[in-house]
Amino acid sequence: MSEIKVNDLVKRKSYGGDIKFRVIDILQNQGKVQCLLKGMNVRLLADCTIDDLELLQPEEILEERHSNILLTRQMLKRIDEDRNKRTNFLHNNGVMQYYYAIPGKVLHLDGDEDYLQKCINAYKMLDVPVVGMHIRERDLPEKSIDLIKAYSPDIVVLTGHDALKKDSEDYEDISSYKTSKHFVDAVRNIRSLEPSRDSLVIIAGACQSYYEALIDAGANFATSPKRILVHAFDPVYIAEKIAFTSIYQKVNLEEAVGNTITGRDGIGGVDTWGHYRVGFPKSNY
């Protein structure tokens, strides 16, 4: 399959083409040509021999992109309707002409630059204030602390890439996961800085991450209860829910999880207060 090149969009024949990938590297490994792959829409890194790959046909690429656009539009519409229900009491009878809104601020730390940019675009579409940084998973425990001190977020998202290691059977052994230890260590370090789950909300993990360990370490929301692949925008949608839920209300857990693409199998969490505030009076300037 010598025609396959870096940046080509492909599928794996051995998996029936279930996930669509982009080729991000090609290398020689013990006499075989190996390809490193990144999921087009799910946070998945994989590798396989080049002869297991098949180029996506133009119609398959269009279908994948179209289906993701439709799914994203559906989620944005659902989120918009949900947000209106949460904040309409402030907008009725023109009350907000005297007040101004302050949604929660997000610091998004991502191990993948491409997905980081996609997430930043999604935050902007949702009007969520955000600062995004590309931080490798292994650097999160150390670098997240300084960034939190610098930006004082209400919500911090720690994500990137993770996976159960091949042939792993013990889901309660953190060594069975590729990067869960880095996420867990980062959450613990952040909680040593700010112990309260209400003062600073943490959303942590990626595909197949050690959900229970992340929650035990102090995360408010984490992936992945059923150890499944998660969509790149799942933590964004959770962050939006928190950012636009009043400080006087707890986030509805079922609604928050239900407003993600992978749902309760992909992400879960614990009781968390919102971070949406209003100010008075509104300035003329």
Residues 107 and 52 in one domain: no
Q: Is residue 68 part of a domain?
A: no
Q: Is residue 85 part of a domain?
A: yes
Residues 162 and 33 in one domain: no
Residue 1 has pLDDT above 80, yes or no: no
Supply the pLDDT for residue 109.
98
Q: Is residue 222 part of a domain?
A: yes
pTM of the model: 0.88
Query: What total number of domains does the chain contain?
Result: 2
Q: Is residue 1 part of a domain?
A: no
Question: Over the stretch 99-129, which tens digit does the pLDDT of each residue have?
Answer: 888 999 999 999 999 999 999 999 999 999 9
Supply the pLDDT for residue 90.
54
Residues 87 and 117 in one domain: yes
Residues 161 and 46 in one domain: no
Of the pLDDT bands very low, low, confident and very high (cuts 50, 70, 90), residue 94 is low
Residues 48 and 177 in one domain: no
Q: Is residue 285 part of a domain?
A: no
Supply the pLDDT for residue 100.
87
Question: Over the stretch 135-162, which tens digit does the pLDDT of each residue have?
Answer: 999 999 999 999 999 999 999 999 999 9
Rounded distance between C-alpha atoms, residue 241 and residue 64, angstroms: 27
Neighbours of 173 (CB within 10 A): 12
| Percent of the chain with pLDDT strictly greater than 70 | 95
Residues 35 and 102 in one domain: no
User: Structural domain of residue 214, as residue ranges?
Assistant: 73-279
Residues 255 and 133 in one domain: yes
Q: Is residue 204 part of a domain?
A: yes
Least confident of 28-37, 151-160, 190-199: 28-37
Residues 172 and 260 sit within 8 Å (Cβ to Cβ): no
What's the rounded mean pLDDT across residues 200-212?
Answer: 97
DSSP string across the chain = -TT--TT-EEEEGGGTT-SEEEEEEEEEETTEEEEEEEESSB--EEEEEGGGEEEPPHHHHHHHHHHHHHHHHHHHHHHHHHHHHHHHHHHGGGGGGT-EEEPPPEEEEES-HHHHHHHHHHHHHTT--EEEEE--GGGHHHHHHHHHHHH--SEEEEES---BPTT---TT-GGGBSSHHHHHHHHHHHHHH---TTTSEEEE--TT--HHHHHHHT-SEES-TT----BTTHHHHHHHHHHTSBTTSB--HHHHHHTSSSGGGT-EE---B--BEEESSPP--
Question: Over the stretch 41-93, which tens digit does the pLDDT of each residue have?
Answer: 888 888 899 999 999 999 999 998 888 888 888 888 888 888 877 666 555 55
Residues 33 and 169 in one domain: no
Residues 28 and 77 in one domain: no
